[in-house]
């Protein structure tokens, strides 16, 4: 069954997040949909949400600590307050805009792995690397797995080419096919695709071999659009 995930990034308030989650939860119940659905709200909108068991609320980020002096960060003390046990790690915006380096990403990964979190771990190449060819693209991606235990049972991967994120440019079916096939040959974990996924292209993307779901930003922020994509995913074997 395909997995559908929404990354809110820096969008929605506490109030609109609550409304959104309640609506998605009701939709899953009413339509009797059992696909795994993930929502990653902003840290300020995290809360104890009472949802169906296949709807997971996660944090977009947290530091590898329980608490301490890490200005601007949150740790597990803050996540435990709301029973959050799911985290997004390695997203390209954290790597390329916020400057997270692989060493720290691996420390974060290991910390949350030890605590049994469900981890959605993102990889993907920038445009100049893609333009250098497949060999360069794959070696760039393998470096993003450095220090990451790929046997971890609660691991979900996401391939998100940086040039396709928030740009409206979706990778072609061929681009997705070849990278997903290469990753799957090495790593036997669910593998999502992300990068300008929307209701109009989701069905085609989910039908590409080795695509186990989608991680969606922009097109997931309106609940009608997100539930439409959940519906599309629920109809695929
Ligand atoms: P996008 O973002 O759907 O807006 O391209 C995807 C992501 O960053 O996870």
Which helix (DSSP H) or strand (DSSP E) does residue 105 occupy? helix 102-114
38 three-class SS = strand
Q: Which of 93-102, 160-169, 190-199 has the lowest mean pLDDT?
A: 160-169
Whole-number pLDDT of residue 170: 82
Closest-CA residue, ligand 1 atom 1, reads 217
- Does residue 182 contact residue 191 with C-beta atoms inside 8 Å? no
Q: Read off the pLDDT of each residue in 201-216 and give the average, rounded to a whole number.
A: 98
Whole-number pLDDT of residue 237: 83
Domains (range + CATH), the chain: 3-234 (3.20.20.70)
CA distances from 156 to 38, 50, 96, 150, 211 (A): 11, 23, 21, 10, 12
**CA 161 to ligand 1 center in whole angstroms:** 10
Quick check: CB of 215 below 6 Å from ligand 1? Answer: yes
- Does residue 168 contact residue 217 with C-beta atoms inside 8 Å? no
CA angle at 211 for the pair 210 and 217, rounded to the nearest 5°: 160
Whole-number pLDDT of residue 112: 98
Which residues on adjacent β-strands are paired with residue 59? Answer: 87
Catalytic residues: 91, 160
Q: Read off the pLDDT of each residue in 61-87 and give the average, rounded to a whole number.
A: 98
Whole-number pLDDT of residue 167: 85
- Does residue 199 contact residue 231 with C-beta atoms inside 8 Å? no
Check pLDDT > 90 for residue 88.
Answer: yes
Quick check: CB of 7 below 6 Å from ligand 1? Answer: yes
CA-closest candidate to residue 7, choices 116, 100, 97, 86: 86
Check pLDDT > 90 for residue 33.
Answer: yes
Q: Read off the pLDDT of each residue in 215-236 and give the average, rounded to a whole number.
A: 98
Q: Read off the pLDDT of each residue in 144-172 and give the average, rounded to a whole number.
A: 94
- What burial class does residue 24 get, using C-beta atoms within 10 Å of its C-beta: 0-12 exposed, 13-18 middle, 19+ buried? buried
Whole-number pLDDT of residue 171: 87
Residue 225 binned pLDDT confidence (cut-offs 50, 70, 90): very high
Q: Read off the pLDDT of each residue in 27-33 and give the average, rounded to a whole number.
A: 98
Q: Read off the pLDDT of each residue in 209-221 and give the average, rounded to a whole number.
A: 98
Q: Read off the pLDDT of each residue in 136-151 and give the average, rounded to a whole number.
A: 98
Whole-number pLDDT of residue 27: 98
């Amino acid at each position: 069954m395909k997995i559908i995930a929404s990354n809110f990034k820096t969008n929605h308030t506490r109030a609109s997040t609550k409304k959104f989650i309640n609506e998605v939860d009701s939709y899953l119940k009413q339509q009797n949909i059992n696909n795994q659905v993930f929502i990653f709200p902003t840290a300020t909108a995290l809360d104890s949400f009472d949802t169906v068991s296949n709807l997971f609320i996660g944090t977009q980020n947290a530091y590898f600590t329980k608490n301490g002096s890490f200005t601007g960060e949150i740790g597990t003390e803050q996540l435990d307050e709301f029973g959050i046990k799911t985290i997004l790690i390695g997203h390209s915006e954290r790597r390329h805009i916020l400057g997270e380096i692989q060493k720290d990403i691996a420390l974060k990964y290991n910390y949350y792995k030890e605590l049994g979190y469900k981890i959605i771990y993102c990889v993907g190449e920038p445009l100049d690397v893609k333009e250098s060819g497949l060999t360069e693209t794959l070696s760039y991606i393998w470096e993003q797995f450095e220090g990451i235990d790929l046997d971890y049972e609660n691991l979900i991967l996401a391939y998100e080419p940086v040039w396709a994120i928030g740009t409206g440019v979706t990778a072609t079916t061929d681009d997705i096919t070849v990278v997903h096939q290469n990753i799957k040959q090495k790593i036997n974990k669910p593998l999502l695709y992300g990068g300008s996924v929307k209701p109009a292209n989701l069905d085609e993307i989910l039908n590409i071999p080795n695509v186990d779901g989608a991680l969606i930003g922009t097109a997931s922020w309106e609940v009608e659009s997100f539930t439409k994509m959940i519906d599309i995913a629920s109809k695929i074997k």
